[in-house]
Structure 1
C-alpha cells in the first residue's frame, strides 16, 4: 500500500513600498495560488499597516480541501533590515509593530519575517532564473535598490543578516574644480523614487504613473526624461558593475519593477554594466530578468517561513 504525502503549504506575504501581495505557495514545487494585492498605506500608522497585512493573510484560502493540506507557516517579506533571528531591525519605510506576534495569533501558525531582496533571491535560486548556476547576484531595482549574493542556492546573509546594501551608503567624489568633495546617496537618484524626484527637481511636471510615465516621455523624445533615465541607469549600472568586479559571479539576475522593465532604462542599465566591468572576458556575463517576475517575493517569503530541514 502506497501512502500519499500531504502537500505542504506556507502563506507568503510580500510587503512593498507601494503594494502588499499574498498567496499560498506549495513548498516542494513553488506552485502559487491566486495572488491577492492591496495598496500599501505607507503614510498610515504602523498598526494599521500591520492590520492590513493580517487581513490579507487571513483572506488566503488553501486549494481544494483545506483538511488535506498542511499549512506550515506564514512568511513576510519586508523592505527592511531583518537579522538572522527574523527580527525586523529597521523602519526605513514604515514601522510594523508586533507584526509576527499578531500574525501568529491570527493564523495559529509560526510566522517569520525576512528582507524582501533575500527571499526573492531564494525563490529565484529554487524555482527561477538561478536554478542552473552555483552562484549569482540578485538585484532588486524598483522604488528602492538592494541586492543579495546567492551561493550554492542559498542567499548569503552576512554575519548579522544585513548583507543587502549596495546603493544606500553615501559616496563622495571631487567637485569639478577639485575644491571639495560632493557627497550623494546613489539610491536617491538611481531608484524608481529617486528618478521621480530627480525629474521634479529638474522642473518636470507631476508624473501620473511614476516611472511608467517617465519611460513613455523618454520614448516620445522628451530630453529631460531621457537625461533622468540615462543618469539613473549610469549610476546604477556602475554600481552593479562594481559588485561584479568584487564578487565575480556566474550570473546577474535583475528583479523588481525597474529590473524587469524593457524600456530605455533597462537598455541603458545593461550598457553601463557591461562598459564598467574591468575584466574584458567577464563583460559577457549573463544578465537576465527574474524568472518569477513580481511573484518572487511572495514565493520566497513562503519558503523562508518553512525552511527545509
Structure 2
C-alpha cells in the first residue's frame, strides 16, 4: 500500500491543500476560502471537512495517510501557532484540534519555512540538504535548512531574514515595530518607495514597472534596483558567510524579473561574500511558485516521522 501525505498552506484569503505520495508526486490539489471570522475559530473544522470530502470524492482511504503538514503565516512550535495576525490566532492549538478530528498525525511549520522545504524537496534538480530560501514580496521572508532540517529556532523565529537590521541614512518603520529592517528596503514595497523617492513623486506602483523602465534605459529605475540589491546582498552575504549553504533560492514577486534581478544580485553577492564562497554561489529562482508551501508542508511530515533519508 502506497503511503500518502497531505500538505496544507494557510493563506490570508485561501487555504491550499494537496495530496502527495511519499516520493513527492502531487496526486491532487484543491483549495478553500480562509474564513477569518471570529478570529479564525472555524478554520480547523473547515479544513477537516474539506479533507474528508475530497478523500471520499477521490475514493482515497484515509488509513493510507502518513500525516498532514500545515504551513501557517506566523511563528509556530511543535504544538501551537504562536501568532498568526492575519488569521486572528494567538497560542492556537491547531495540531491538537486537527489530530483529534482526523486521528492522523499533524505537524506545524511556518509558511516561509514550508516553501523553503518544498524547494529543497522538489524544486532543485540536485538532492541537496543545505539551502537558504529568500522570498521577496510585500515583505522579505525566508527559510534556512541545515542538514535537511528547517531551522525554526528557540523562539520559533528562525529564518526571519526580513528583519535583519540594516544601516541607512533614512529611517523606515517596519511592520514588526522595529526600524530599518531589511524588508523596509529589500522588499517590493521597499524598492517602490526607493524608486518614488528618487523620482520625487509616485511614478511606479509595482516592481514590474521598475524593471520595464530599466529595460528602457531609465537611470532612476536602475539606481533604485542597485540600491535595493545592495541592501539585500549585504544581508544575504552575512547568512552565506555564516552557513555556507549548497544553494541560495530566491522566490516571491520580485524574483519573477528573472535574470534582470538575479544577475546583478549574484554580482553583488560575489562582492560581499567570503573569498572562499565568492564566485561559487549556486543561485536560482524558486521553481515551485505558489505550490512550494504545500510541497514543503508535506515533506515536513516525512521529516517528522523519518520515513525518508534524503
How far is 1:262 from its partner? Answer: 0.7
Q: How does 1:23-62 map to 2 (within 5 A)?
A: 23-26=18-21, 28-37=22-31, 46-47=39-40, 50=43, 54=47, 60-61=54-55
Cα offsets for 1:264-305 (capped at 9, x unmatched): 333332222222113165322211233434322111112224
Aligned to 1:66, which of 39, 60, 65?
60
Question: Could you tell me whether the CA contact under 8 Å between 1:62 and 1:69 is conserved in 2?
Answer: no
Contact 1:82-1:90 within 8 A present in 2 as well: yes
Partner SS for 2:26: coil
Name the residue aligned to 1:129: 124
Give the distance between the partners of 2:226 and 2:41, measured in 1 at CA: 38
Give the secondary-structure state (helix, strand or coil) at the position aligned to 1:35: strand
Distance verdict in 2 for CA 1:192–1:56, change over 3 Å: farther
Shift of 1:16: 4.1
- Kindly indicate whether residue 241 of structure 2 is the aligned counterpart of residue 248 of structure 1: no
For residue 22 of structure 1, what is the aligned residue in structure 2?
17
| Structure with the larger helix share | 2
Contact 1:142–1:258 (8 Å) recurs in 2: yes
Number of residue pairs aligned between Structure 1 and Structure 2: 292
User: Unaligned stretches of 5+ in structure 2?
Assistant: 171-178
Q: Which residue of 2 aligns with 1:190?
A: 186
Alignment partner, residue 89 of structure 1 = 82
CA contact (8 A) 2:115 2:293 kept: yes
Map 1:202-213 onto structure 2 (within 5 A): 203-205=201-203, 207=205, 210-213=206-209
Distance of 2:13 and 2:230 partners within structure 1: 25
1:284 and 2:280 correspond: yes
Instruction: Provide structure 1 residue ranges, at least 5 long, that are not aligned to the other structure.
Output: 1-5, 176-182
**Considering only aligned residues, what root-mean-square deviation do their CA atoms show, in Å?**
3.6
Q: Do the aligned partners of 1:86 and 1:114 also contact (CA within 8 Å) in 2?
A: no
> So what's the TM-score if we normalise by structure 1?
0.75
The CA distance in 1 between the partners of 2:12 and 2:226, in whole Å, is 24
Residue 304 in structure 1 maps to residue 300 in structure 2: yes
For the residues of structure 1 that align with 2:35 and 2:25, how far apart are their CA atoms?
A: 28
CA distance in 2, matches of 1:101, 1:168: 30
